[in-house]
Structure 1
Amino acid sequence: MTKNFYYLLLLILTISCTNPTEKQKLAEESFQKKEIAVLDQLEFSGNPQLIIKTAEESKRYAKKINYDYGIFKCNMSLIFAFNASGKYKEATLIGKENDALVGKIKADYIVCLNYTNIASAYSYLGLLDEAENYLNKALAYNEKLKNDDDKYYSLAGIYSGFAFVEGMRGESPNLIKVQKSYLKQLSALQQVGENNKKIAQKKNAQLSMLYLNLGITSSELKNPQEAKSYFQKSLSICKKYKFANNNTPLFVHTEIARLFLDQKNYDSCIVYAQKGIMLEKKGHFPEIRRDLFEILYRSNSKKGNHQDSEKYTNLYMKLNDSLTNAQKRGINTPVKVIMEKKEKEKNSTVKNVIIISAIISFVLLLCGWLFWKTKNKKLQKDYQKLIERSKFNNQNTGISAENNSTSVAANALLEKLNNFEKSKEFTRKNISLTSIADQLETAPDSLSDTIQQYKQKTFNNYINDLRIEHVVYLLYSNPKIRIYKEDELAKNIGFTSKTEFASAFKKTTGIPLSYFIKKLESESK
């Protein structure tokens, strides 16, 4: 009995005297093998909510054992998941937590990628100065890296971030700066080795998207031959590596078709657009499909293929109406898994997982670029429609009095409205329904009903639209008018303030007044 008591006492003393440092080491190793390994696997699940839940639970345990690296890694998973689900503000808050831990983490590569991902969140929030600040922090840590593949691969992601930030600056970004950042990204990627098959796959997946972005930028810079060359390089890489769940070929075919349309090479345009339609069926990009329908109806119309033109016009209008009426979907929804599921390896290193995270972050940046490009093209399209209308319609918007479906009284009033529109009297200030009714010798109710029935507008919208169409024509036809300030223009056409004028201009035309004037100025140079 006494002997057993001594053995028990010795066991207790042995346990209590165990080296605390060794205990901490064992706890940290266990955390890496279990919690961090699970989070690494979940990054490929396409389920941001599950990642958030798991990361928060693991983070609580990491705090309990005082494991700073574990907290940092859990935060990186949270930033990734918040970015993927469009919760950018939450991502920046977690990023600030990691800022406080950076000095305790001896892993320059991971810190570099952490800052790149935080910059992505700030970019989507439109806080471009903050995004650029974090990219510069990432750049500083990148300079410390010794491993060439780590160094140049993460450097490519940083320059991609700089290109995205520059592309988001204003309605007319400096495309030369955007292109320079992409070329720096290209230079970095070209220095990543290809001895490792996995690294070669990841490098070329990013490279194919980079050539797509370079092609888009060259096209915007009016360099079609360079753009075509970049697009072909992107397709060549996709064909060689056959990336899983890669939509880059769809984007490339769409851009090449648009390029050929601009060059009036309608046969080649139709070939690439139809191939794009086939590729779109494998995914779900209704906005891209709508663009392809538009390209096909325009190219077939130019070729005189009226039957095909009508077919694609109907498809375009139907899809466009559907997208317009549907609830708008943010482009920053969770990104689909773009690479093959990572092979399960008991002894997989953090390094490979972080590289793949960088690729997913890059795809988010690509999506943001495509969002900016789609928005910019819509503004350009609305602008062209406005210009075409101004060329052929100098305020002759009235309805002819010779309308058999209306009464004599209505025809007479419509004829008076025509004369009113031609006289430009709608530019008078303090104009009202009663004053115009008195001028046209009719009752206010009768005038209001006629405008509602035949113009399909309220009286105020009718007057504002006439004023906007008039100022559009003046700005387009007379460059001297463009030197006037907005408040002067507003007063000259009857608005009480430049705020009211700018709001009415955007509502009627679909584009901002400042954008319209800048486009006119740039095209007149």
Structure 2
Amino acid sequence: MTTPYQFISNRYFFFIIVVFFSCTTSIFSQENKELQEAVSLRDKGIELYKVENYEESIASFNQLLSLAQKLENDQLVCTAYTMKGHIYCRNGKNKEALNNYYKALDIIEKTGDVKDEIVVNSGLILVLSRMNKNAEAQKIALRSLKAIPKTTYYNKENHLRFLTTLIDIYLDDEQYNTALPYLKKGIKMSQSLKLDELYVDLVIKKGMIFYYQKKYDTALQHLFEAKEILTHKQINNKSFPKIRTDYFIANCYYQKQFYDKAIDVLINSINCFEETDTYKPPAIRSHLLLANCYSQKHDYKHAMFWNTRYNMLNEYFLKDKDQTIDIIHEKETTQLQEEIIALRMSQAEEKKAKNRIFWILLVTLIALIAITFIYLKKQQSNKTVFQTLIQEINQLESVNKQTKVHEQPKKEISIDDQKVQEIIKGIEKLEIQEYFLKSDCNLRTMAKKLKTNATYLSQTINQHKEKSFTEYINDLRITYVLKRLQEDTKFRSYAIQSIASEIGYKSSYSLVKHFKAKTGINPSYYIKSLNKQETTSEIDA
């Protein structure tokens, strides 16, 4: 028989269960609603990106990033960083693009998602090639192409996009014969997939190859085919390929000495530029080519005007690339200056021409002095950081010994003292064994080795080392690599990727990022300075 007390207790228990499930359902419902909102923001941002509405697209991905971080959804956070990188890449903002790509790669390093890495790399290699780091871009592209057959991207759009980017790298390196097999494969694939946007891009590249091989009539045939497609077919993001096509058509005319035709093409192209197009490389080069055309016609007034415009745009572009020298167009700039100086001017125009040349050289000289000053200042700063770093490394061993003797947990934690001491001794033993250099060194594997759980280990490191587990491992690795690079000459000759693998990182990006965060300089500069210091010491001896 149920007593009144039992009846009340049962009803009370039932009430608690109802409230619990109600709250749980409410939480799940809220999370599900936020997830749906995040997916909606992602889709909206991608659609805006496709129609080149980059400002609103960035706003959508910023909202997505904030919400995805709240939901702790690595996949959506990675998507937000990747798409922001793609947008900045299209707008020629290389520094912002790299920052977002590296953040996406940091997440991918944790998740190990090959498909996401391929998508990020598709933009990363484009930025690297713009900054004249073609060798590094080519390695990443070939590595990604090798991985694609193992994914659902094989023989799909992303596969084709990698081919087109790799062709761009080979074109910049003037490896035309190497590019051709990839070009033929890409054209066949784009036709099969009916991707007009990528097909026209490959047709333009084909025209470029014939241009570089000085087969100007054949080049014009392919370039006019591309222009026809861009005019009559519905293609997204046609602004950049149109500028590129016009630039190379005008270049063919220029080489054939049809200067008036080249000028007409370039003027029409420049007049159609949108604001976001102005600072793209083909758009900037169009101004220089136009100046060259007027120079050949002995029209110095217009030549100077367009050369000044070119210098202004190119200066902005180089500043955005952290003042990286644009080697690709250095010959064209030199050519223009030599032509202007070498031209035989009429007596009536000679005085004006000399004044113009004087001001061009003066402005160029001032710009060179400013760039040299900034460069030397940066070098001096790096040198100071390097010297301080060497002193710290030389004192590292004695400091570490003192630290180990006196180091005690700073705060009480919810583990018994004996267990804490066992974990601390285990950590110190693993440090001596250099377990932190293994690529599979993570919180779980380390906890397993110490016969404890991840929570206890994390809490012990947080309070004993006063840093997170990730910070702790990164500090050990960077300290190790600093010391070893200083002592081991052979180790210094390794590629950055090999050094990264040697100390447990899966990519060179992680090494460079954590090295610079701890020291303030890049690994390459540190190695170069060590070699220079060693050479100087040998000479003095």
TM-score with structure 2 length normalisation? 0.49
2:94 is the counterpart of 1:86: yes
> In 2, Cα distance between the equivalents of 1:176 and 1:152?
25
CA contact under 8 A between 1:142 and 1:155: conserved in structure 2? yes
Aligned residue in 2 for 1:207: 199
The corresponding residue for 1:14 is 21
Alignment pair present for 1:321 and 2:308: yes
TM-score normalised to structure 1 length: 0.51
> What is the root-mean-square deviation of aligned Cα atoms in Å?
4.5
Given that 1:79 and 1:117 are in contact with CA atoms closer than 8 Å, whether structure 2 keeps it comes out as: yes
Relative to its length, the structure with more helix (as a share) is 2
Rounded Cα–Cα distance in structure 1 between residues aligned with 2:248 and 2:101: 33
Counterpart of 2:18 in 1: which secondary structure?
helix
CA shift digits 1:165-201 (9 cap, x unpaired): 33444xxx33333444434432332331x3xxxxxxx
The 8 Å contact of residues 91 and 121 in structure 1, kept in 2 or not, is answered as no
Return closer, same or farther for 1:37/1:155 CA change in 2, 3 Å cut-off: closer
User: How much identity, in percent, do the aligned residues show?
Assistant: 10
* Cα gap change, 1:240 to 1:375, in 2 (>3 Å): farther
Amino acid at match of 1:256: I
User: Which of 127, 130, 133 is residue 121 of structure 1 equivalent to?
Assistant: 127
Equivalent in the alignment of 1:74 = 80
Residue 283 (structure 1) aligns with: 273
1:81 is displaced (CA, Å) by: 4.1
* Greater RCO (CA < 8 Å, at least 6 residues apart): 1
Name the SS of the counterpart of 1:225 in structure 2: helix
Identify which of 27, 34, 38 aligns with 2:40. 34
**Would the aligned equivalents of 2:68 and 2:74 in 1 still touch at CA under 8 Å?**
yes
**2:160 corresponding residue in structure 1:** 156
- 1-side partners of 2:203 and 2:53: how far apart? 29
**Residue 98 and residue 81 in structure 1: after superposition, are their counterparts in 2 closer, same or farther (change >3 A)?**
farther
Contact 1:132 1:165 in 2 (8 A): yes
The structure-2 alpha-carbon separation of the partners of 1:185 and 1:90, relative to structure 1 and needing over 3 Å to count, comes to: same
Query: What's 1:262 paired with?
Result: 255
1:81-480 superposed matches below 5 A: 81-83=87-89, 84=91, 85-87=93-95, 88-103=97-112, 105=113, 108=115, 110-146=116-152, 151-169=155-173, 173-192=174-193, 194=194, 203-241=195-233, 243=235, 246-247=238-239, 248-264=241-257, 266=258, 270-271=260-261, 273-283=263-273, 285=283, 287-292=285-290, 294-295=292-293, 298=296, 301=297, 310=299, 313-324=300-311, 328-330=315-317, 374-381=329-336
Inter-CA distance 32–10: structure 2 relative to 1 (3 Å threshold) = same
Q: CA deviation at 1:158?
A: 0.9
Aligned residues of 2:44 and 2:57 also touching (Cα < 8 A)? no
Aligned-partner Cα distance in 1 for 2:60–2:140: 26
Q: Supply the distance in 1 between the matched residues of 2:54 and 2:151 (Cα, whole angstroms).
A: 30
Q: Is the 8 A contact 2:247 2:286 kept in 1?
A: yes
C-alpha change, 1:385 and 1:218, in structure 2 (3 Å) is: farther
Distance of 1:205 and 1:236 partners within structure 2 = 13
Unaligned 5+ segments in structure 2 are: 1-7, 275-282, 345-357, 366-541
The separation in 2 between residues aligned to 1:240 and 1:220, in whole angstroms, is 27
1:62 to 58, 68, 73: 68
2:206–2:219: 8 Å Cα contact kept in structure 1? yes
Q: 1:426 maps to which residue?
A: none
